[in-house]
Chains A and B, each alone.
Chain A
Amino acid sequence: MQPLPKWADLVLVPLISLALAFFVAALVILAIGESPWFALKTMVQGSLMTASGWGHTLYYTTSFIFTGLAVSVAFHAGLFNIGGEGQAQLGGLGVALACLYIPWPHWSLALLGATIAAAAFGAAWVAIPAWLQAKRGSHIVITTIMFNYIAASVLMFMLVDVLRPIGQQDPSSARFPAEVLIPRLNQIPGLDLLFPRTVPANITLFLALTAAVLVWLLLWHSRTGYHIRAFGKSPGAARYAGISATRITMIALLISGALAGMMSVNNVLGDAQRLLGNSAAGAGFIGIAVALMGRNHPVGVILAAFLFGFIFQGGSELGFMTAIPIEMRVVIQGLVILFTGALDMMVRMGLERVFPRAANPAKPTTAGAA
């Protein structure tokens, strides 16, 4: 029972959902007495029309690729990891500990070490909810939400009572030593011609793209990936085929947590160069929207991450340049999640009328008997 052509299902449904979300967002902007057209122009101007805008947009894109991949891997196993935010914050703690307490001789080694630490801390933070889901059937959605709140408390405790240098007022760690700092895009030969001034986007962007390729290889070209997808499609059939539910739940969620944690290399080491409170800044939640919009495929995730990078950077530009509060981007994010994740059936039902079954001659009506 799939009356829609594949391309329509893959491309048209998300695009129409996105258009609907933006349409409602425009209505919201109209309702608070501002001009949607001017808002869109401000967003495009602030995120895509200048080198600095691109530097910010690509910076956010990097974070969202990681969190989007994190949510996607869990989705493929039929699990909804809502805890990317907490895992990313813990990943940030891992990055800070690795950078502050290990004397790295060169930034490339520091990048490697920080990435491993971020992944390990992120995975460790999801390990308890994952184990509870696999062994005790505690719902992963509620436990990971709780772990988001606990993570915020842990970070606050670490920053205030442990990592804060003596005599400093604001809750943040010391600055990382100069040897560990990784190059920003404006410091990379070649790219420095495109970015004349300091931008937050950094070399982690390429790490994110590599992670996307690795996730693709894992999910579609490895035995484990096949098990993850089989378990997600049909837990019963997977169990019958000898796939251990506990094992797959743990593996999928640990990979998911590691990916979410790795986003902190981008913002903690790549940009802030020290650990700040609330370092993930909502990127963990945006990963959910990115995964839904990108149809849980790495290519889709990269495109959707870029879209949300644009919304995020454009949204903060709205906060600066117009009377529209910066919270507008939270509304847009919610609308995109609603339309692409929960109301997709509405779009599909509408499209089914546009594409009558006759448009699919390869599958005659007897397909229904199979």
Chain B
Amino acid sequence: MDYASILQLLDSTIRLSTPLLLACLAGLWSERAGIFDIGLEGKMLAAAMASATVASLTAAAPGWSLFGIELTWAKSLLSPVIWGLIAGILASVIFALIHGVASITFRGNQLISGFALNFIAAGLTVLVAQRVFGQGGRTPQLAGDARFPPLTLPLSDEIREIPGIGPLWYEVISGHAILVYVAFAIVPLTWWLMYRTRYGLRLRAVGENPAAVDTAGISVIRLRYSALIITGILCGIAGAYMSTALQAGFGRDMTAGRGYIALAALIFAKWRPVAALWSCLLFGFFQALALRPDIVTAVVQFRVPGPILDSLPYILTVLVLAGFIGKATPPRAGGEPYTKER
């Protein structure tokens, strides 16, 4: 295996890790506040559909109007892909709030609520895309300003010729959509908010011992809703990245279990933000490997069947969950609805 294919592998690792990382941090916020959320998958899917739809429609304006209002002004205000991002975040936050109503306000089963929302998202996204575009539940191919362009970092052309570090900078670090850099920047931001602010302290407390937080006169319900809104925003960015940067449009079930892998990465990371970065990079690396069977064959010297390669991330997840790589202890109040004592 030569240096060039290693660089290609690392490059796709970064691109494939990004949605996992965003979803993983989303899960971190809600689970640290004591709300299990297996609905990350559905939120990403809803956001991917909403982003691609709105980006496509805005890019097609003039000619597009909503309820008779011409929306060309929108295009002059912000680029179509940004409108797409906003729509994706909104869709995801709406799903997060439904999860909140079911699991916080009505103290329902958090696993079942998340699971149900995944189904609703899987069906509804196809229904809406079919209604709007009539192309079998897909959005049209996005192009131009309906997608996030790759960003060329400074110096990448200048140092490209330097052996070793030059190609690494040019191929792997530079040339991604801006959301990739946003995702990596959210890791230290999450760490700072969680461990260095009063809000973060309260949020972690509400995931461990909500009664104590309540006794201190702080609203458990408000804290948990705020965490779910952050979860919604992060899943929204993840979904928008899927359909307007990683790929060029929405297709049915395009998240393909990433929400669940992100949950596994979260457990692997033991619910800590910086560790989440590493575990998502690892899972992203496995997804990148599954895309390059030629490299795997070259390394292990025999043909690994494609389906086996595809299932590697899931097998790894089970091994991780089995606790062979250290014990993971979830937030203590996770999954338990909070009932104020009367």
Contacts and interface: CB of A to CB of B under 8 A. Distances in A.
A161 interface: yes
Contacts of A139: 267, 321
A161 B309 CA distance: 14
Contacts of A337: 112, 115-116, 119
Interface stretch (A5-13, A231-239, A263-271, A342-350): A342-350
Contacts of A33: 131
Contact of A28 (B127, B257, B307): B127
Contacts, number: 150
A349 B122 CA distance: 30
Interface stretch (A60-68, A114-122, A142-150, A199-207): A142-150
Interface in B74-116: 98, 101-103, 106-113, 115-116
Interface in B228-257: 252, 257
A146 B112 contact: no
Interface in A244-298: 285, 288, 292
Contacts of B267: 139, 142
B35 to A, nearest CB: 12
Interface in A19-39: 28, 32-33
A207 B135 CA distance: 42
B307 A160 contact: yes
B109 A331 contact: no
A139 B263 CA distance: 11
B126 interface: yes
Q: Is the interface of B mostly helix, strand, loop or mixed?
A: helix
Contacts of B115: 82, 288, 337
Nearest to B103: A342
Chain A interface residue number, banded = 35 or more
B178 interface: no
B55 to A, nearest CB: 21
A150 B108 contact: no
B311 interface: yes
A345 B119 contact: no
A189 B175 CA distance: 70
Contact of A325 (B118, B137, B311): B137
Interface stretch (A42-50, A151-159, A217-225, A351-359): A151-159
Contacts of B113: 338, 341-343
B116 A138 contact: no
B130 interface: yes
Contacts of A330: 119-120, 122-123
Nearest to A315: B123
A141 B107 CA distance: 19
B102 A325 contact: no
Contacts of A160: 305, 307
Interface residues of B, number: 47
Given A160-B307, A331-B127, A341-B109, A147 B318 contact: yes
A211 interface: no
B116 A338 contact: yes
A327 interface: yes
B323 A136 contact: yes
B102 A342 contact: yes
B310 interface: yes
A335 B116 contact: yes
Interface in A295-332: 324-325, 327-332
A346 B264 contact: no
A343 B108 CA distance: 6
B308 interface: yes
A82 B118 CA distance: 13
B38 interface: yes
Contacts of B116: 334-335, 337-338, 341-342
A319 B308 CA distance: 34
Contacts of A89: none
A167 interface: no
A132 B324 CA distance: 11
A281 to B, nearest CB: 14
Given A285-B119, A325-B126, A150 B38 contact: no
Interface string B314-325: 110110011100
A334 B322 contact: no
B318 A128 contact: yes
B305 A157 contact: yes
A333 interface: yes
Given A327-B122, A338-B102, A142 B321 contact: yes
B263 A333 contact: no
A137 interface: yes
A80 interface: yes
A157 B122 CA distance: 26
Given A32-B128, A142-B321, A335-B120, A149 B106 contact: no
A325 B130 contact: yes
Given A153-B311, A343-B106, A137 B323 contact: yes
Contacts of A331: 119-120, 123-124, 127
Given A132-B318, A328-B123, 18 more contacts: A28-B124, A80-B112, A137-B323, A139-B267, A141-B111, A149-B314, A150-B315, A325-B126, A325-B130, A325-B137, A331-B124, A337-B119, A338-B112, A341-B109, A341-B116, A342-B110, A343-B106, A346-B108
The 6 closest A-B pairs by CB, nearest first: A334-B119, A330-B123, A342-B113, A342-B108, A331-B123, A153-B311
